[in-house]
Amino acid sequence: MYPRLFELGPISIFTYGVLLAAAYLVGLQFAVVRARTKGLDSNRVMDLGIVIILSALIGAKLLLVVVDFENFLKSPISLIRAGGVFYGGLILSAVTAMWFIRRYKLPLWVTCDAFAPGIVLGQAIGRIGCLMAGCCYGKAAELPWSITFTSPLAAANVGTPLGISLHPTQLYESAASLLILLVLLLVERRHASFPGRTFWTYLLLYPFARFFIEFYRGDPRGTVFDMLSTSQFVSLLLIPISVVMLIVLHRSWSKNKTRISTYK
C-alpha cells in the first residue's frame, strides 16, 4: 500500500484521490467513445458524465456518513478522507442521470448501455486506489494471497489494521469488475442486443459479485437487520429488479421487432 503519493510542501497528494480521478476520467472517456458508435451526441454524453461523476462523489460520501454515523460524529475528517460507499454514488448518480437524460431527450437505455462498461472499468481502477489507501479492507485470513498493511497513515486515516494478514477484498472486487467488463463486451459483440441489456446485465452481475465479496470484508460499513451489510442489502434488491427489467425489455424489443417484420 502507498496512501500518500507525494508531497508538495504542505500539500499531500494521496494515491486514492489520483486513482479515483483516473477511474472517473478513463470511465468517462470510454463512455464517450461508445456513445459515438451508438450515434449519440458526444458533447451531451460528456456533460452527462460530469453530472454522474459529481453526483456519484456526493452520493458515496452521504451513504458512508449514514452507515458509519457514529465514527462520523467522532471524527468527520476521517470519513472525508475515506472513499465512500459505492452504492450511494450509484443511486444518486442514477437519479440525476435520469433527470438529465429526460431533460435533454437522450434515448434512455441506449445511453445507459453506453455508460455501463465505463462504470465497471472505473470501478476496477478505483478499487486499486482503495488498496493503496488501505480502506475497504478484508477480514483476517492466512492465505497465500493475503496482504498485510503496514502504513500508520492508513491506520490513522481509515482505521486499517496493521501487521495482520487480510483478505485483499479490494483486489477481489477489481478482478470481479474486469471480469464483468469482459462479459459485457463479449455479449454485445456476439449476440444481437436490445436497448438496456448491457446496463441491466451490469446491474445483475455486479451486485451478485458484491454480495459474496462482502462476506470477506472486515471494515465497519453498517448492517441491515443485524444480518446483512448495507451493500449486501442493496445487492439483494438490485438482483431481482435487474432480472425483471431484462425480461421486460427483451419482450418489448421482440414484440416491436415482430411488428416491424410483419409491416414489411
pLDDT single digits (tens) 66-106: 776 666 666 666 555 556 777 788 889 889 999 999 999 99
Rounded to the nearest 10 degrees, the angle between the axes of helix 108-133 and helix 169-190 is 150
- Specify whether the CB–CB gap between 65 and 79 falls below 8 A: yes
Overall average pLDDT of the 182-207 stretch: 92
Burial 163-202 (b: 16+ CB within 10 A, else e): ebbbbbbbbbbbebbbebbeebeeebeeeeebbbbbbbbb
Q: What is the pLDDT of residue 67?
A: 72
The residues near 117 (Cβ < 8 Å, ≥ 6 apart) are 30, 31, 34, 181, 184, 185, 198, 202
**pLDDT tens per residue, range 135-171:** 899 999 999 999 999 999 888 888 899 999 999 999 9
CA distances from 163 to 140, 152, 159, 160 (A): 10, 10, 13, 10
- Specify whether the CB–CB gap between 130 and 157 falls below 8 A: no
Going by pLDDT thresholds of 50, 70 and 90, the confidence category of residue 264 is low
Cell numbers standing for residue 52: 454522474
The answer to whether position 220 is within a domain reads: yes
- Specify whether the CB–CB gap between 218 and 140 falls below 8 A: yes
The answer to whether position 170 is within a domain reads: yes
- Whether 16 shows a pLDDT value over 80: the answer reads yes
- What backbone phi and psi angles, to 5 degrees, belong to 191? -135, 145
Q: Which helix (H) or strand (E) holds 224?
A: strand 223-224
Overall average pLDDT of the 38-49 stretch: 92
- Whether 222 shows a pLDDT value over 80: the answer reads no
The answer to whether position 261 is within a domain reads: no
The residues near 235 (Cβ < 8 Å, ≥ 6 apart) are 207, 208, 210, 211, 214
Q: What is the pLDDT of residue 128?
A: 94
Q: How many domains does the chain have?
A: 1
Q: What angle do CA 22, 25, 30 make, to 5 degrees?
A: 120
The answer to whether position 86 is within a domain reads: yes
The residues near 34 (Cβ < 8 Å, ≥ 6 apart) are 113, 114, 115, 117, 118
- Domain membership of residue 202 as a residue range: 4-255
Q: What is the pLDDT of residue 74?
A: 66
- Whether 9 shows a pLDDT value over 60: the answer reads yes
The answer to whether position 263 is within a domain reads: no
The answer to whether position 264 is within a domain reads: no
Q: What is the pTM of this model?
A: 0.87
**pLDDT tens per residue, range 95-123:** 999 999 999 999 999 999 999 999 999 99
The answer to whether position 262 is within a domain reads: no
